[in-house]
Amino acid sequence: MHADPSPSGRPTDLPTGRVLVLDERFVASLEDAQLRQYLSVLTRAASGAHEDVDELTKVLSEEFDRLEMPMPPVQVKMIAEQLFGVQDARLDIVTTGGDVLAQQDGVSGVPERPGSAGDPEHPDRPFIS
């Protein structure tokens, strides 16, 4: 995911959380060591500064080849597009079934919910419900 576009169509400077979803069947096809290496490549790529999507695509392709996990160029480019440009944003890598495989801390573009004022006589009950 890229930062939400501004009205001009350019990404804003506000990072947004990113979620990269991996197919459960793909994840199940990997040995534990392969999965750890694959996730490491993704998190390193997500946090690195790259000139453009094409450069990141090349870096990812080389890393996947090094791990003997060649992937179709279109798939690598799709991954690069999801990871490019918002390296300060939080990253969650999950399966299609919702299992969290990796998390990388970062800044979220979603503001935290403010706390509610409580009833002083009953601290467990919110003042406004």
| Model confidence pLDDT, tens digit, residues 47-70 | 877 788 999 999 999 999 999 998
Compute the residue count for the chain. 129
- In order of 63, 112, 113, 128, 129, the CA distances from 123 in angstroms are 54, 22, 19, 12, 13
Which of the residues in the chain have pLDDT under 70?
1-16, 86-87, 106-120, 122-123, 125-129
pTM: 0.66
What pLDDT score was predicted for residue 14? 47
What pLDDT score was predicted for residue 113? 54
